[in-house]
Structure 1
């Protein structure tokens, strides 16, 4: 395949990312059998993180400002309380409320660095926040759920650490190391790496939608309330990130907005199931995942065009 064709395909993925995400969600919900690809999720995420990390020269991490990281982390800590208020305002049951609280407390979604890169944001900042919050989740989630709900949620450290290592830290380290060792050969394809990551986003959201299609279809009328809560939590997170970072540079503001607005719904669902909540309690996480993938694709288009 010639370079011209590859460039055109990459541009087609980037320009119409929102359309592809919506199409992927629809296909996943209509054809649940696609869930057979679920075991490929971690390799897909690793390719996604690795590809976008090829754009990260080591000096981009050295330029990070401690104040920006700290601000994002502080705002992150308010997300579970916001989630609790939203769930109680909507009159949701304890199980669904727990679903929202855990969702607010977990790490940013693993695709956040990719969406940040596609938006023209500070990808190094989004990646560092992802790793730091992921490690903090080991202590933060059990503590905040106990305080807010009076219910204990045990966190299995191995699951979270393994996910961060395999899907984020390892591919990112290899990619940044390769960029440092061979800067010119790798740098000449910088325009293509975000498109590869975007393609992985499209694949992963289709698999997620297919794996949870039956839960979404069987949720009945409560689905509308959960959907409303997910939209409010996602949108309020974006707004909080944008406003809290008003003194930052534009790339930093984009990273802050996406890092706070996007949540790792897969980790949230796994923690709820592991804590003994009914499967239905994972509905907020699943619906939120579909919502955030769609809205973040829309923000990619908005941010990239406005810049």
Structure 2
């Protein structure tokens, strides 16, 4: 099993490289990948199932123990990133499709990578896991509501269809994964090593398909989309930490909140953009998938190396690299 873990770690650690290689191939030769556009929701469903396999009801117990921290983190999550996305899109003068795509990224819940980055940064991992679990469960209601409020004038969207898709793509797979974990925990522990690898492969496939679908227009929007994503992510991490500290949270808690706000479930944004907007609107989410792992790793490494305090980890609430 040691060799398997090393192989999985090797593949997942080089995630940005695989994305760049596959995206480059899809850009130069998009036709073979275009027919797989309809598979994006299924691929994301696999990622969400993997997330569910590493979750249990213990992930939600912190709500009862530290409700103020959890509620504050969730509220900041759904206030800062959508608002920043809206402002960035206005300041940069993004096209309606790109602006809607960036706002959709901001309205989606935080990604599971935030838990890993918090752990590396020696932050409050238990708080990170609980916030991401709660905001993922709230996403079917909160994400469509905020998105329609901010982007309704940019591009037509069927709110009911958007909500149903989030339920199917996010909540259902996670619920199935949690149920499997609770009823067959021993079996899950034997395969959980492979979950990060499967998730990485699925996300790379999603990004590759998105690049292929938008290859014709990508050259004209890539630079401005990249600038928008970097600004969105950087402001999210900065404001997340600053806001947490501003309301009295400790440095360790602030690190957790920063990653919960600055790191998105951009795969969900991509799937929803393809299904309900257009391929160009999926570009911010595809770029975000790569960039936030890069920026998050840099910040986590800096904090982890600088801060001497050891993290207090609720092992029941955080399964290894969930």
Quick one: structure 1 residues 80 and 101, their matched pair in 2 at CA, closer, same or farther if it must change by over 3 Å?
A: farther
Instruction: Give the corresponding residue for 1:276.
Output: none
1:175 and 2:181 are equivalent in the alignment: no
Quick one: structure 1 residues 89 and 161, their matched pair in 2 at CA, closer, same or farther if it must change by over 3 Å?
A: closer
C-alpha displacement of 1:96:
6.2
SS of corresponding position for 1:56: coil
Check whether the contact 1:231–1:288 (CA below 8 A) recurs between aligned residues.
Answer: no
Report the Cα distance in structure 2 between the residues aligned to 1:164 and 1:236, rounded to whole angstroms.
26
C-alpha displacement of 1:232:
0.8
1:267 and 2:263 are equivalent in the alignment: no
C-alpha displacement of 1:101:
7.0
SS of corresponding position for 1:7: helix
Instruction: Give the corresponding residue for 1:106.
Output: 107
Instruction: Give the corresponding residue for 2:284.
Output: 288
Instruction: Give the corresponding residue for 1:57.
Output: 56
Report the Cα distance in structure 1 between the residues aligned to 2:12 and 2:102, rounded to whole angstroms.
33
Report the Cα distance in structure 2 between the residues aligned to 1:23 and 1:207, rounded to whole angstroms.
13
Quick one: structure 1 residues 193 and 96, their matched pair in 2 at CA, closer, same or farther if it must change by over 3 Å?
A: closer
Check whether the contact 1:101–1:145 (CA below 8 A) recurs between aligned residues.
Answer: no
Report the Cα distance in structure 2 between the residues aligned to 1:75 and 1:117, rounded to whole angstroms.
14
Report the Cα distance in structure 1 between the residues aligned to 2:202 and 2:213, rounded to whole angstroms.
17
Check whether the contact 1:10–1:195 (CA below 8 A) recurs between aligned residues.
Answer: yes
Q: Structure 2: give runs of 5+ residues left out of the alignment.
A: 120-124, 306-322
42-51 or 152-161, larger mean C-alpha shift = 152-161
C-alpha displacement of 1:197:
1.6
Superposition RMSD in Å: 3.3
Report the Cα distance in structure 2 between the residues aligned to 1:181 and 1:265, rounded to whole angstroms.
32
Question: How far does the alpha carbon of each residue in 1:229-287 deviate from its partner, in whole angstroms, 9 at most, with x for none?
Answer: 2321122122222333442685884465244443524435665x4xxxxx6xx74x434
Instruction: Give the corresponding residue for 2:243.
Output: 244
Quick one: structure 1 residues 178 and 213, their matched pair in 2 at CA, closer, same or farther if it must change by over 3 Å?
A: same
SS of corresponding position for 1:53: helix
Instruction: Give the corresponding residue for 1:47.
Output: 46
Question: How far does the alpha carbon of each residue in 1:55-99 deviate from its partner, in whole angstroms, 9 at most, with x for none?
Answer: 112212222443324433235324344334333433556x36853
1:90 to 89, 92, 96: 92
